[in-house]
Amino acid sequence: MTAFAQVANFNGARPVIDPANAAILLIDHQSGLFQTVNDMPFTRLRAHAGALAKMATLAKIPVITTASVPQGPNGPLIPEIHESAPHAKYVARKGEINAWDNPDFVAAVEATGRKQLIIAGTITSVCMAFPAISAIAAGYQVFVVIDASGTYSKMAQEITLARVMQAGAVPMDTAAVASEIQKTWNRDDAMQWAEIYTKIFPEYGLLIESYTKAQAVAQSHEQLDSAR
């Protein structure tokens, strides 16, 4: 049976993101670690991590970040995460590979009062997987964002996906997370959500461009008709 065919068991909990009950954990999205990513273009990974931060700001979802030995070769966190989510809380670790082994990190998660965790991290098989599995064991409902996490091979990604699903995590992609949090286009910040999708898949910008052009043409025709 493939990882995609397995069904996570959440003890009856509905596996849908509730923005009022969710927190986003962005773990080790560091410039040095990005150089090891081979399962997707690192520019796409970087854009997706920033998109998660931006949607957290729009939906008022708590964000917790952390870095693995940022003073060493792993490098600093990419700046756009805290630029897109100024409310994000950074937790410094003391060398722990699994962020969940750091008491301050766990305390920060607990302080949010949220029971759903949306987790992304680099490297996928370690920085994302270890905290995800630990959080599930601690009783949290966990959603792992596969295309906002990066690793050194496609095989490593697939093995990790199987592992976290067996542990009970729900795998998602960044666009699905955005849509599930956004819920409707009938909202005042709809265009800001549209901009997020252009970061996730730039082709969406063409849809906005064509729509904007069509609207301008239609308005021009209306003005000509009213002038006659």
Q: Which residues of 197-223 are buried (b: 16+ CB within 10 A; e: fewer)?
A: bbbbeeebeeeeeeeeeeeeeeeeeee
Identify the band that residue 210 occupies on the pLDDT scale cut at 50, 70 and 90.
Answer: confident
Taking the C-alpha atoms of residue 198 and residue 193, their distance in angstroms, rounded to an integer, is 9
Q: Which residue has the higher pLDDT, 13 or 31?
A: 31
Confirm whether 127 is a catalytic residue: yes
Active-site residue, from 52, 127, 135, 145: 127
Say yes or no to pLDDT of 3 above 90.
no
- Give the pLDDT band of residue 4 (cuts 50, 70, 90): very low
Encode pLDDT of 149-189 as tens digits: 999 999 999 999 999 999 999 999 999 999 999 999 999 99
Structural domains of the chain ordered from first start: 19-183 (3.40.50.850), 192-227 (no CATH)
Strands (E), the chain: 22-27, 63-67, 89-92, 116-121, 141-145, 170-172
Higher-pLDDT residue of 184, 12: 184
What share of the chain has pLDDT > 70, as a percent? 86
- Asked whether the CA dihedral 127, 131, 132, 133 is positive or negative, the reply is positive
Cα–Cα separations (whole angstroms), residue 83 to 79, 116, 197: 6, 24, 18
CA distances from 195 to 9, 102, 127 (A): 34, 35, 28
- Residue 205: which pLDDT band, with cuts at 50, 70 and 90? confident
